[in-house]
Structure 1
Amino acid sequence: MRETIRLHWTDEALLDGLASGSDAALNQLYQRYFPMTLHLILSNNGSEDDAKDIFQEALVVLYERAQDETFALSAQLKTYLYSVCRRLWLKQLSRRGRFGSLAADELNESDELLSTDEDLTEHERRNEQFDLMAASLAKLGEPCRTLLEDFYIRQLSMQDITEKFGYTNTDNAKTQKYKCLMRLKRLFFSDYQE
């Protein structure tokens, strides 16, 4: 049986495809979402093989959920998979003894579903805030945007920023950074309330 090639897969189409055993849907899930799992695992004491194992387990969880006709995503599929991978990796670290008692306490089997839902909600909220912050930063304009990016993202020192922007001393650069930060904060909260 030959599968139809889709150019754009919606979350629902991916779930339906996974539930029906579609290789194309499975390949699409790997292409889209394995890189974020790989990054998560590599950033948290894991290897590429660990990431492959965790992602495979997460797909099994997703497959089982997709088989249940009453299952409905309460978040984006990406967010759901990330949360499942994160919880599986925390459990794995706990088993290996690399995470201490906090992970063991946090990962009680009885509240795993509740915790996953809470993780999804929190992750969605953070994503919305990051998107809003990126939009506010784009509205900020120059030189404020570059100054804040240089300090917070590129982690340049105040001395480097003073030289780059031609301020007379680091105190003037700090004052300008503060003013830019306050402008960004006003933009963010005015957008946040809309």
Structure 2
Amino acid sequence: MQETNTEDQLFVDQIKSGDEESVVAIYQAHRNGFIQWAQSTYHADEPTAADVFQDAVICLHHNITCGKLETLTSSLKTYLYAIGKNILRKKLQKESVLDKDENWMIENLYVEPLDNFATNDRQRFVANLMETIGEPCKTILKLFYFKGFSMGAIAQAMDYKNENVAKTQKLRCLTTLKHKLRNQYSGDEFYGD
């Protein structure tokens, strides 16, 4: 066990010194195992588990390069899985608490306003609403709901100070979108088919 921790610490030191091949080696060594673990433990589908693992590796890399992780107190695999578990649990919890407005908007959100193939008025309406909320809201909501980015990954992509800033901004964006939706239509006349 001590030998494994020594090897793992070597990976940490190599990443800290800028060796990107070590990140690739960690990714390849643990990807399949993490996906199988996430599927059996949390019943996550393969694409979700793969996305979560990628976010976990990015977070691991960030923690090492910014000095948050200097010395391992567990195996690298345990540390990486703990990050992945936290990301996955947050993602699954988020998905289970979506309210009616969010579910409805998500189903109809990702249609460009000028898309000739938009098949119904609701899709065109929500696409137009997305255009009215502008940036950064449009990008944040697309990254979160359609690309499956974690809030930490969005914070990095949008160059926010931290994950909490990204969460606050996403909540403001979603509230704005809901308010615009409710101002246009009542739930009964627009949610029904």
Identify the TM-score tier after normalising by the shorter chain.
Answer: 0.3 to 0.5
TM-score by length of 1: 0.41
Return the index of the structure with the highest Cα Rg: 1
TM-score by length of 2: 0.42
